[in-house]
Amino acid sequence: MQPTMQPTMQPNMANTNHKDIPGNPSTATSSKIKLNDRSNGKPLRVLSEEDWAFWKHNGYVVIKQAVPREQALKTAAFLWEFEEKDPNNKESWYAPPRAEMRMKELTNSGMVEVYNHQYLWDNRQQQRVYDAFADVWGTDKLWVTIDRANLNFPMREGFEFKGFIHWDYDPETKPENVQGVLALADQTDENMGGFQCIPSLMRDYDTWKLTQPEDRNRFQPDIKGFEDKLVKVKLEAGDLLIFNSLLPHGIRPNMSGDKVRIAQYISMMPVQENDEAQRQWRINSWRDRIAPEGYAFPGDPRKWEQTKYGTAELNELGKKLLGLESWG
C-alpha cells in the first residue's frame, strides 16, 4: 500500500445537511428503508433472540468479538502512531489539538481525524460486522459510513472533558438511522470513559418533550431527572456496539487517571440506489483519503492520510459496502 500523489479535484459533499449540525454526511441523514421489524421472515445472522429483545427495548446491542481481538489492538497501535503520541509517555497524551472543533462538546474528547486507512477499512469489511448491521436493518444492501476513531484520555488539571449526552440527528425528525462503536481496547472499567446512553429517555421521549421548552436544543437534552438512569456500557477489544440514532448517547469523562479509551466509529445503512453524487463522493473519499466535511469533522491539517498512506485494499464485501461495486 504505497502513498500516492496529492489527489485531484474532489467532488463536493453530496449530503450537505451537516454543515452546521451533527451527523455523518458520508451516508444519508435518514434512510427511506425502515429498521428491521422482522416482517421479512429472514433469520437473524448474528444477533440471538435475547439480543434482539434487548435491542428493541434499550436501543443498543453489543456484538461480542465482531472483529478479532488482535486486529482491534493492531488498529489501536496505529492510532497512537497517527496521533504522534506514546502510550507509555503520559505527557505526550496532552498535546494541544491540531484543529479547532466547531462542535464544542467534542473538545478534548479525543477524536482522531483518520478516515480511510487500511486498518479502518479492514474492520469495516469484516463479515461479522456487516452481518450485525444486516440484522438490525433487515436488508443485505448496505453502505458503510466513512468515519473516524477516538483516543479518550484521562482528565487532569488543565485538560477538562466533562462528557456529554446528545443526539446526532434531531429526534423530532424520527430518523431511520443507526450508529456504531467498535472497541479497540478493553473498556471494562466504567471510570475510563467510553459510551454512555439513556435508554429510558428514548422510551419516554414523547412524554418527556412535553415538559421541555419549545425552543430547546434539539441535539442536547436537559437530562435532569435521568441522572441515575445513565447506562455506562462496558466493552472488550473487538466488541461492536450498535445503537439506534433515537437513543440519547455520548462519551463519558475518563476519570481513571491512567487508562485510555480507544474506539473506531462504524455504522451502515441501506444503499442510496439513485444517489450517484453520494456514491462518487464516497469512492473519491476512499481512493484519495478525503475526510468528510461537516460541523463535527475538522479534518487533519497535516494531511497525513494523503501523504503518508495509500489507498486501502478492499475485499469483495468492502467494494460493495463502499459503493465501488453494485449489490446487484
Q: Please give the domain boundaries of the chain with CATH numbers for all domains.
A: 49-322 (2.60.120.330)
| Confidence (pLDDT) at 107 | 64
Residue 316 has pLDDT above 50, yes or no: yes
Percent of the chain, pLDDT > 90? Answer: 75
CA dihedral 151, 154, 160, 166 (to 10 degrees): 50
Is residue 109 a contact partner of residue 262, using CB atoms and an 8 Å limit? Answer: no
Counting every residue written for the chain, the total comes to: 328
What mean pLDDT comes out for the span 50-61?
98
Residue 132: Cβ within 10 Å count: 26
Could you give the residue ranges of the DSSP H alpha helices within the chain?
Answer: 49-58, 69-82, 118-124, 127-137, 199-203, 205-208, 276-288, 304-308, 316-322
| Confidence (pLDDT) at 3 | 47
Helix (H, G, I), strand (E, B) or coil at 146: coil
Calculate the alpha carbon distances from 91 to 71, 88, 104, 155 in Å.
Answer: 27, 9, 24, 12
Cell of 208: 418527556
| Confidence (pLDDT) at 117 | 98
How far is the C-alpha of 309 from the C-alpha of 303, rounded, in Å? Answer: 10
What mean pLDDT comes out for the span 5-24?
53
| Confidence (pLDDT) at 16 | 53
Residues 67-122: tens digit of each pLDDT: 999 999 999 999 999 999 999 999 999 988 887 766 566 666 788 999 999 999 99
What mean pLDDT comes out for the span 163-188?
94
Is residue 322 a contact partner of residue 286, using CB atoms and an 8 Å limit? Answer: yes
Helix (H, G, I), strand (E, B) or coil at 231: strand
What mean pLDDT comes out for the span 281-294?
92
Residue 185, CB-side half-sphere exposure with 13 Å CA sphere: 20
Q: Of 319, 326, 316, 315, give the one whose Cα is nearest residue 274.
A: 326
**Average pLDDT of the chain to the nearest whole number:** 90
What mean pLDDT comes out for the span 49-62?
98
Residue 4 has pLDDT above 50, yes or no: no
What mean pLDDT comes out for the span 249-263?
93
Q: What is the phi/psi pair of residue 40, to 5°?
A: -80, -10
